[in-house]
Amino acid sequence: MSTALDALYAQVAPAPAPVVSLTEMDRRPAGADFPTIPVAGLELTPSEAAAALFETAAEDLALPVPSTDALYMLLTAAVNTLGPAGIANITPTFETLDADPVEWPEVRYCREFAYRLALSFWYAGARSRPMTAGEVGVAIYLSSLTRYRMADFRHLPGRKLMLSRAIHEGVTAVPTETLIRLGRVMGGELGDADRDRDREWLYKQALPDYHRRRFAFDLVRWDRSQPAPLIVRPDTGGYTIGLTPPPGADGKWLRPVRAEW
**pLDDT level of residue 4 (50, 70, 90 thresholds):** low
pLDDT for 5: 62
Mean pLDDT of 39-47: 96
Mean pLDDT of 101-122: 89
Q: Which residues of 46-75 are buried (b: 16+ CB within 10 A; e: fewer)?
A: bbbbbbbbbbbbbeebeeeebebeebbebb
Which range, 10-19, 74-83, 192-201, is most confident?
A: 74-83
pLDDT for 2: 60
pLDDT for 28: 96
Domains of the chain: which residue ranges?
Answer: 2-16+126-241, 37-120
Name the least confident of 31-35, 68-72, 97-101, 170-174.
97-101
Per the prediction, the chain carries an average pLDDT of 89
Do the beta carbons of residue 139 and residue 179 sit within 8 Å? Answer: yes
Do the beta carbons of residue 94 and residue 50 sit within 8 Å? Answer: yes
pLDDT for 217: 96
Quick one: which of 113, 117, 108, 127 has its CA closest to 37? Answer: 117
pLDDT for 11: 59
Name the least confident of 58-72, 76-90, 149-163, 211-225.
58-72
User: Does 201 have pLDDT greater than 70?
Assistant: yes
User: Does 9 have pLDDT greater than 80?
Assistant: no
Query: How large is the greatest C-alpha to C-alpha distance in the chain, in angstroms?
Result: 60
**pLDDT more than 90, % of the chain:** 70
Name the least confident of 42-46, 48-52, 200-204.
200-204
Mean pLDDT of 14-39: 87
Q: How far is CA 12 from the centre of its chain?
A: 21
Q: Which is more confident, 192 or 146?
A: 146
Mean pLDDT of 106-134: 95
User: Does 61 have pLDDT greater than 60?
Assistant: yes
Mean pLDDT of 55-60: 81
Quick one: which of 132, 68, 115, 71 has its CA closest to 252? Answer: 115
pLDDT tens per residue, range 231-250: 999 999 999 999 999 999 99
Do the beta carbons of residue 261 and residue 69 sit within 8 Å? Answer: yes
User: Does 100 have pLDDT greater than 80?
Assistant: no
Mean pLDDT of 212-224: 93
pLDDT for 52: 96
